[in-house]
A and B are shown apart, each in its own frame.
Chain A
């Protein structure tokens, strides 16, 4: 047990090093800095005109509500960052072992495949969170600068973001474990997340006038809804100045966690049987 644990921590440490020195990490870092800078500029320049950007919202907003609206805008962008980061770090995680032939010297070592996969998974989650941390620091800095304090919603949003990161990275690991080519894994994650999920969204809203709550991308909207409970449906837009309720948060976390658990268990099963041809 001790040996397995030390193999796991050593594996995480070395995989994390391999990630943070990679070009993918620097690219994600640059993109995140760019997006954060843009939003900082927008926030500082347009904070006075913020209510006008939300139709139906009274113009004489309290500073607390204004802060939540700004937090909501930042969180809307934040929703996509873990997806892109995990595509960078998670999609080639397993397929890359075969395509890049690193499996040939790693698989025959006396370490359980499960330990290998989980240590790499944790490293991918940590590197994704490291990128997101830059964005969150910018966001927190802007909110502090304008409003003098951070709302509780900011911290709730971070907590949900961490859960979502674990889940989306697990999802990319699952897709990666199916393929032996990185390109297939990258494309498949993008197609599933941005095309298949979107197609189900459109069909469901068109036919049943309801947003499919069970999709990972919809459940992830809770990261922004803890600021302002805005409906993001295609044919119906609703905006409540209230934050999402506890039950909404709970059900979203449950869906996100289910995706994460099923994905990582399935990835483990496939990885266990993975062959290096």
Chain B
């Protein structure tokens, strides 16, 4: 799918929530909007899902402007924006049934579809209870199930793991990762957790003050390594096969030359008498975040 935001400005009175956002999303995988609270992430997702209308500019999905023809633009889009709430006196199953019908799933396939999405999201156990009595986590799971109805091509998720317990967070991330890895499927999700962005996303867009501050693809074969030391040590900047790019005392960020293995670096450091506590892959998301979000 081809998602475009063209010079999108959104103002709430005198406050500018989005300040001329330009973005193109046309590859698969998981794209993350990372930024602090109030950066404009949710507003951008709301513009994309017709929950709010841009003051100027436009958002389009496959060439269809969302605020002009939302029904057509959002036909193949599933979404979970803010903390979802449901009609309190309807059961989870009825809510999913209603959404299946709105999305035009044939009546003889609805039960099967409800079973599919509820199994995926772990919400099967409480579908026959009224939604008014659901916990935050249950609502979040049901919200994700609603967004997966009819197997959309594009999934828009606003802080999807918010309010979930650790198991719920892991399960939610597994669903997102699995969905994003499928051919022709894309996820655009917002989070304020750098670790979540690093774990899930192929592309990370850092949002700050209503605009894109940084936009980069995360590569799992990144050459950066984070080394945590037992004690603070003196270390040369340049070594054979790697270089110290950041030195925070007990934490070093190293960039290895291509062909240098992590074990080579560990051996070289230990040969210098440096005691290593942890070695982990590192990307510069955190640094980018810190330098862009003041």
Contacts and interface: CB of A to CB of B under 8 A. Distances in A.
Interface string A61-102: 000000000000000000000000000000000000000111
A18 interface: yes
B90 A18 contact: yes
A6 B74 contact: no
B82 A17 contact: no
A17 B147 CA distance: 22
A14 B94 contact: yes
A277 B104 CA distance: 28
Interface stretch (A107-115, A129-137, A216-224, A247-255): A107-115
A273 B52 CA distance: 9
Interface residues of B, number: 37
B98 A276 contact: no
Contact of B53 (A7, A10, A110, A275): A275
A104 interface: yes
Nearest to A7: B102
Contacts of B99: 109
B85 A14 contact: no
A15 B102 CA distance: 13
B89 A112 contact: no
Contact of B101 (A10, A19, A277): A10
B87 A101 contact: no
A21 interface: yes
Interface stretch (B43-51, B165-173, B215-223, B226-234): B43-51
A105 B51 CA distance: 9
Contacts of B147: 105
Nearest to A22: B89
B71 A107 contact: no
Contacts, number: 88
Interface size class of A (residues with CB under 8 A): 20 to 34
Contacts of B53: 273, 275
Interface in B110-163: 130, 143, 146-147, 156
A121 to B, nearest CB: 16
A104 B84 contact: yes
Contacts of B84: 101, 104-105
A103 interface: yes
A7 B101 contact: yes
A14 B87 contact: yes
A108 B149 CA distance: 13
Nearest to A275: B52
Contact of A17 (B74, B94, B102): B94
Given A14-B90, A277-B12, A107 B50 contact: yes
16 contacts: A11-B102, A14-B87, A18-B88, A18-B90, A21-B90, A21-B130, A101-B82, A102-B86, A105-B81, A105-B85, A105-B86, A105-B143, A108-B79, A110-B74, A112-B71, A277-B52
Rank and list the top 8 A-B pairs by shortest CB-CB distance, nearest first: A21-B89, A108-B49, A101-B85, A276-B51, A275-B52, A10-B101, A18-B87, A108-B79
Given A103-B51, A108-B156, A110-B70, 9 more contacts: A6-B101, A14-B98, A15-B87, A17-B94, A21-B90, A102-B87, A108-B51, A109-B102, A277-B12
